[in-house]
Amino acid sequence: MYIKFITFIKNNIILAVITFLLVLIVNKNSYSTEITKNESYYYDTLAKNWINIFPDGNRNAAGPKFFKYLIDQDLSFDDFVEFNKRYCPVSGSLIAPGSEPAFISMNEVDSDNKVCGDMYRCCWPCVCDSMKYAKAMEISHKFQGIEKKFTVMTIDNPCGKEEFPLEVNRDYFCIGEKMNLDQVFAVDQKMIIGLLHKPTSCNSSDLLAINNHPVVGQQCKIRNSTKEEELISGMGDIFIKLSK
């Protein structure tokens, strides 16, 4: 009886040790997955797929190409949001890890409302151009079977323009005067250029903070009142010609 009791104790100790080790392994794997999906992971993944997104290497004003590429992937919503922080909707440039977003306001599509939120961008002129020429729209989409609502930055269909900017690969955007929906994502004839992060309806405090900001407020007022032919910084008149 004593021997059986000792054997029982030993077996339970072994089982407990095995269980403990399995828990450690699972937790370690979970932690490893978590730490590899940091800002560098999302940046590096887009960089590795650059040639698939831009076969000719031309990313000028091609934020819509990034957005279309990402929404076509089988991503979780969280991953989709993080990937959308690593490119500029206006210029199409990749955005380095550690970059801080700009807090901006935008007009809402078909409304007098203003929507505030964070924009990840490569340079300050892109902030000004987005606030003046892009509009916010809430849309919904299923990510791995789960429907989510989120706010996007949009421009009107640019494909009927007589002065389509030569610096932009038109084939990325258009088939004739229609949007090329194999290459870009559109809702209600609005081309989506990127995500507006942490969107909210602007209140007076938000607008005051934006207006008083040295870049988003003061520098953007100067830029957005400058004649298009005199703009030489950021994407210059490329995005403006595409979006106005």
Q: Which residues pair with 114 in a beta bridge?
A: 107
Mean pLDDT of the chain: 87
Q: pLDDT at position 175, please?
A: 96
What lies within 8 Å, CB to CB, of 20 at 6+ separation is: none
Distances (CA, A) of 7 to 1, 17, 20, 214, 227: 10, 15, 20, 75, 88
29-33, 56-60, 213-217: lowest mean pLDDT where? 29-33
- Residues 1-8 have a mean pLDDT of 47
The residue type found at 154 is: T
Give the integer Cα–Cα distance in Å for 102 and 220: 12
What confidence category does residue 234 fall into, taking pLDDT thresholds of 50, 70 and 90? low
Handedness of CA 174, 175, 179, 185 (dihedral sign): negative
Task: Please tell me the predicted confidence (pLDDT) of residue 145.
Answer: 96
Mean pLDDT value across residues 183-195: 97
Tell me the chain's radius of gyration from C-alpha atoms. 24
Specify the higher pLDDT residue, 71 or 28.
Answer: 71
| Residue of 20, 178, 197, 201 whose CA lies nearest to 108 | 201
Q: What is the pLDDT of residues 93-151, one digit of tens each?
A: 999 999 999 999 999 999 989 999 999 999 999 999 999 999 999 999 999 999 999 99
pLDDT at 34 over 60: no
Which residues, in sequence order, are CB contacts of 52 under 8 Å at separation 6+? 69
How high is the pLDDT of residue 22? 42
- Residue 17: pLDDT above 60? no
Report which of residues 5 and 39 the model is more confident about: 39
Query: pLDDT class for 72, splitting at 50, 70, 90?
Result: very high
